[in-house]
Structure 1
């Protein structure tokens, strides 16, 4: 993590840390880093999007970079457009699932994958040194506009096949997913009902799709007797799913189901997930010939893992899925189409969900000043290894200790001054006992750090 870039690009409160001046300089830094070429720029529905997008574009043009402005568009569409227009990079103005007052800047590679930490460090260096390239007046970049929505839908329809139509309710959370997700579902032959599909920048539900934020969607699915409910966050890189009985399908269960379906669709192979994913995935996909590989938290680590392991799918237990046959950008919209194909081929979601083993997962956040995180993590690791009878230790992102019955992950947040504890056990009593001890370990370490 640098001064500007966190675990998912730059994400700050607008006109506090994230100003038009910073956006302008990020554009100049990216243009300087690339030296030449063209960049696709898109934004989600936030009220500050236009202001920050125009600043980024000005910065890019000033370095001689050509810009393709795709305007209001979900993150998956930016990733798609980069490859469609053979661009050298992409930028999305988005704060994903954060509240309205936030916005952010996320940069993408030519293959649709987000910039890695090393690439962001290079941008930070240019930003700090202010060593921006300045193009002469007759070599300033060209600005064009484009709308790749039709191409996106056309390509998706080539990859997803339904034998009949279903009733689908799409809750876009007034985010950018409203521009494509309902239309793709309609083109698949489904009857589509849209909820919260006004791209106004004012979010009337919490943007992260979870059981609480999707209570309205759950009720709508029940009342309207829909086959499924599909929900997105602000930029539609995530998916949340409600089954045909109106129940939110827990992230871990959905991750297991779609992983298994990808094995059936594309053949046996490796599946990438993150260190905060539970055992249900391993237990569910092993009999189908799936091998689970865990990586750091974040879509970049998942995409890198997919490429490194030649995996057939990668996903986080936050509804962030990457389908490499489609793109290396997390894509909640295409994911929604795949969920419908899975229902079409395998049956109602409420029935499928019963097949996935369920364990008890608990999460906790403990306040921890950013400057204490490093020392606290060292103390946590030392204490945890003494306090718990573990069999395996994973240190790729925080500290995860596990045996055959449970696991505990201690991890500092990349965006907030907190320490996270995630754990899983087969019984509620066991999970609660582990959490009590884990909290004591973390609190003691923070005090001593």
Structure 2
């Protein structure tokens, strides 16, 4: 024991410090306290780096500390996001036999359509925006919400703990298949810990109960099966990933050169059949309209932590007297088309015959989408980070550090953003992105040809 302490005393001390910082984050932080938020996050990111630097070949040590960091949050109420109230609300509706896609919380309360133990607490806790819109969470997410409601015993804390355990299990699964996939790609498997120990991942997923990690678990599992040439077995897993969050839909065209036309057709068909099977229990004639209206809000109504959009908005409003509410609507429609074009260009102009090239194309596609988007919440970057570790690109790791600056908006009345802080975030991220494209690896200037 003494010899172990002598060999690992600094990493052990770093881990203890992390536990104390995560405890403070979970139980003694309000999101309006930006200074404390930034200081805690910065310290945790530095300590994460030091832990991996010292112990990157010590799998058991990093696994144990990663689990301990997550367990710190076990009974904490999420303090950076109110979304979990809506998650539990949807789960309680399913528990009471009501389709969450058919009615808004406002409608449920006004019409008295349901009654459950935590109903008023959940309704008052969720944002007004959530209360007046239909659910936009795909079917597998809804199943997990329902599971949390059933096992949570009707209490908010009980349901929160169940969701937290689900997310922790998903992160463990991501670590398991991530290491296997890294080995198949001839990369060091300790790279998976840049995801597993990343403070953004721990805080936004385990802490704030976002399900990007569950989507990522199924996504990486599917990629691992594809790397083993078990693409048929990968299709239901990939479909499940889509039905947790829709984002993996974007990447389907990128497989066409990797599989070839005939196999791609089979892959796409089985994935869509899998999605349809998962959707059937929730389907109704008005489902498509309700769901598409809510999802469309993300393109036409919301703006948070944007980069290029903020530049376009500043120029349009200042010099062309554009109306902000009209601009974001037209911009959102335009960006949807641009992203489709970018994905198709990556699919047909890149030599995606190798899986690593396919994953690199995914990194470019999602990064361009986020750079162009009017809304980039911090937990969105978790997905980009999660599969970027299978490539040579590290700008998502930089982004996972700098995106915390976007939370400064919550310290201001009306959630007014500080454009100087957002400039710092995106200058560092986009600057490092450009450096990786043309600076450190000149050959990747021609990434469409790889």
Q: TM-score, normalised by structure 1?
A: 0.27
Higher relative contact order (CA 8 A, sep 6+): 2
Larger strand percent: 1
